[in-house]
């Protein structure tokens, strides 16, 4: 019985996406729309499709019919479903500032909102499910993001240097990270406009003349202001100055744990996350921002960004990006046309070819050719190999079963 299947994901056309990268990767005809994400997984809102013996089947349907065979007994018993969602992202405009809850808090919040009778589709709903949503991303290009609060020393320098923030220095000295963030997030719109419109008048001309570095928060603040509503300044502008601005080089990774405020700014990446849609937003978005709920979950402490280089494996082909999340494991496989990659799936795996063309075969004799941008689903307990005559880069998602 074959355990390898061609898989087709689903494109998500969010407004912050780009026009070129995902259509070019997948080899699809570009339309006049944004191409933000390509989902590979069994998320009920947008399940991938696999080519099975009986034709095309949604992956969630396929898994539900054979959970143990697909996921392996350990993952089936622990999660009862595919625990992760795998994505390609093309970030052209900034995403919303966001925080994800812990597993315990997600369960409590989901139960509470259910008891209140808030529909799952309601725009003011905070918890769409009862799961946590840790994430790891690997850059496919130079990638920029906001990630956690600056150190106290750096934040004090920012509050001192930006004239519009001078009154906030005393707030931070007295109330720390929590006091500072709570103060700006609870401001009236009039107070926010008064501070940030003055800031906008200073930085927008510099931005438009190309005089701001991407390491300067003024660059991203001006970009957000330029793309937003100048009559209603977004409180997320403050966070651009309060958080670390991180540049990630191609092939390097960053992990986002519960409580760490973050926002993707620009670039392309592979993203692997727990199978959840729980997002508490903190600005740079027209969507619902529940400030009181947000304040319960933010980690109010300095964050030292950790760039994950990955651990090279003994075969010299695979690099695994370790994270604390038990739900998923992300790795990069590079082939140079000499020796094949040999895999043995302990649980379900999803592969995508980001560069090149490969041949995938399993021990039953089943074979798939995967071209650039094509994906495969591999069932648990499958011995397989991936080969190429050229050069290829593959990303693999699975659940660790140590």
- From the list 250, 281, 319, 357, the catalytic residue is 281
Listed residue (396, 374, 398) closest to 9, CA to CA: 374
327: tokens are 């739900």
Strands 358-362 and 382-387: antiparallel
Q: How is residue 302 annotated by DSSP?
A: B
What CA–CA distance (Å, rounded) separates 182 from 142? Answer: 32
pLDDT (tens digit, 9 = 90+) per residue, 9-38?
Answer: 999 999 999 999 999 999 999 999 999 999
Q: Indicate whether 402 pLDDT > 80.
A: no
Residue 80 β-bridge partners: none
Listed residue (133, 138, 116) closest to 125, CA to CA: 116
What CA–CA distance (Å, rounded) separates 116 from 125? Answer: 11
Q: What pLDDT sits at residue 371?
A: 97
Torsion sign over Cα 94, 96, 99, 105 = negative
What CA–CA distance (Å, rounded) separates 172 from 178? Answer: 8
333-342 mean pLDDT:
96
104: which residues sit within 8 A by CB, 6+ positions away? none
Q: To which H or E segment does residue 193 belong?
A: helix 189-208
Q: What is the SS3 assignment for 240?
A: helix
| pLDDT level of residue 231 (50, 70, 90 thresholds) | confident
Q: What pLDDT sits at residue 144?
A: 98
pLDDT (tens digit, 9 = 90+) per residue, 86-132?
Answer: 999 999 999 999 999 999 999 999 999 999 999 988 989 999 888 89
- In the chain, the percentage of residues whose pLDDT exceeds 70 is 100
DSSP string, 148-169: EEPPHHHHHHHHHH-GGGHHHH
Q: What pLDDT sits at residue 73?
A: 95
What CA–CA distance (Å, rounded) separates 14 from 264? Answer: 14
pTM: 0.95
What CA–CA distance (Å, rounded) separates 156 from 246? Answer: 19
**Burial class of 327 by CB neighbour count within 10 A (0 to 12, 13 to 18, 19+):** buried
Number of Cβ within 10 Å of residue 80's Cβ equals 11
Q: In whole angstroms, what separates CA 190 from the centre of its chain?
A: 33
| pLDDT level of residue 190 (50, 70, 90 thresholds) | very high
pLDDT (tens digit, 9 = 90+) per residue, 354-363?
Answer: 999 999 999 9
Assess whether 281 carries a catalytic annotation: yes
- What is the chain's mean pLDDT, rounded? 95
Q: How is residue 3 annotated by DSSP?
A: -
What CA–CA distance (Å, rounded) separates 348 from 174? Answer: 50
Q: To which H or E segment does residue 42 belong?
A: none
HEC readout, 81-144: CCCEEEEEEEECCCCCCEECCCHHHHHHHHHHHHHCCCCCCCCCCCCCCCCCCCEEEEECCCEE
Listed residue (380, 336, 387, 339) closest to 361, CA to CA: 387
């Amino acid at each position: 019985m074959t355990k390898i299947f061609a898989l087709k994901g689903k494109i998500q056309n969010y407004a912050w996406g780009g026009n070129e990268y995902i259509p070019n990767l997948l080899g699809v005809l570009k339309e006049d729309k944004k191409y933000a994400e390509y989902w590979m997984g069994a998320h009920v809102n947008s399940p991938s499709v696999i080519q099975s013996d009986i034709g095309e089947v949604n992956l969630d349907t396929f898994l539900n019919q054979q959970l143990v065979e697909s996921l392996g007994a350990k993952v089936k018993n622990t999660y009862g479903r595919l625990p992760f969602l795998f994505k390609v992202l093309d970030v052209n405009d900034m995403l919303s500032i966001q925080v994800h809850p812990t597993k315990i808090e997600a369960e409590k919040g989901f139960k509470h909102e259910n008891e209140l009778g808030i529909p799952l589709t309601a725009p003011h709903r905070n918890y769409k499910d009862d799961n946590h949503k840790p994430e790891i991303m690997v850059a496919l290009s130079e990638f920029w993001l906001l990630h956690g609060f600056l150190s106290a020393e750096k934040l004090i320098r920012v509050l001192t240097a930006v004239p519009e923030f001078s009154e906030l220095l005393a707030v931070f000295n007295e109330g720390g990270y929590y006091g500072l963030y709570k103060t700006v997030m609870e401001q009236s719109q009039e107070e926010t406009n008064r501070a940030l419109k003055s800031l906008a008048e200073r930085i927008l001309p510099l931005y438009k003349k190309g005089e701001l570095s991407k390491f300067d928060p003024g660059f991203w603040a001006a970009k957000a202001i330029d793309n937003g509503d100048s009559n209603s300044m977004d409180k997320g502008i403050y966070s651009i100055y309060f958080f670390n601005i991180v540049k990630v080089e191609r092939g390097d990774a960053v992990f986002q744990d519960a409580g760490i405020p973050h926002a993707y700014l620009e670039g392309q990446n592979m993203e692997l996350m727990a199978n959840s849609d729980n997002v508490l937003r903190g600005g740079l978005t027209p969507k619902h921002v529940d400030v009181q709920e947000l304040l319960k979950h933010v980690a109010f402490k300095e964050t030292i960004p950790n760039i994950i280089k990955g651990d090279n494996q003994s075969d010299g082909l695979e690099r695994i990006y370790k994270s604390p999340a038990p739900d998923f494991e992300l790795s990069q496989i590079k082939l140079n046309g000499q020796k094949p990659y040999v895999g043995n799936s302990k649980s379900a795996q999803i592969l995508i070819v980001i560069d090149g063309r490969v041949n995938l075969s399993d021990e039953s004799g089943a074979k798939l050719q995967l071209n650039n941008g094509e994906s495969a689903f591999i069932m648990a307990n499958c011995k397989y190999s991936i080969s190429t005559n050229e050069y290829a880069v593959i990303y693999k998602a699975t659940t660790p079963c140590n």
